[in-house]
């Protein structure tokens, strides 16, 4: 005798049981992405600090401060500095 298996049926049944029990998970899961910030400054340090501010301003979700890294910085011909930073950020419902 052959048994027909519907993929995901057990998972859907378990999820429905959790919903009924009141232990539901958020509809949209969080996801991690790399955020970037860029800026100019009078010194390398000033450009990096401004880039971190830019990172937090343009990413409307939480970026993890411990993950902020200087990607690169370069001195411009006019003596100012350009810096780019990156960080792991989280985007989601929680």
pLDDT tens by residue, the chain, 94 residues: 444 444 444 444 444 444 444 444 444 557 788 889 999 999 999 999 999 999 988 766 788 888 999 999 999 999 999 999 999 988 754 4
Distances (CA, A) of 21 to 14, 24, 27, 46, 57: 10, 8, 16, 53, 40
Domain boundaries, the chain: 29-91
Distance, CA of 77 to CA of 94 (rounded, Å): 45
Residue 75: per-residue pLDDT: 96
Tell me, which fold does domain 29-91 have in CATH? Endonuclease I-creI (3.10.28)
């Amino acid at each position: 005798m052959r048994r027909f298996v519907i993929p995901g049926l057990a998972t859907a049944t378990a999820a429905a049981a959790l919903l009924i029990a009141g232990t539901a998970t958020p509809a949209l899961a969080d996801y991690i992405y790399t955020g970037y910030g860029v800026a100019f400054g009078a010194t390398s340090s000033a450009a990096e600090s401004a880039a971190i501010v830019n990172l937090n301003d343009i990413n409307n979700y939480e970026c993890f401060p411990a993950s902020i890294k200087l990607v690169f910085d370069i001195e411009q011909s006019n003596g100012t500095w350009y810096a780019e930073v990156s960080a792991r950020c989280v985007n989601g419902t929680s």
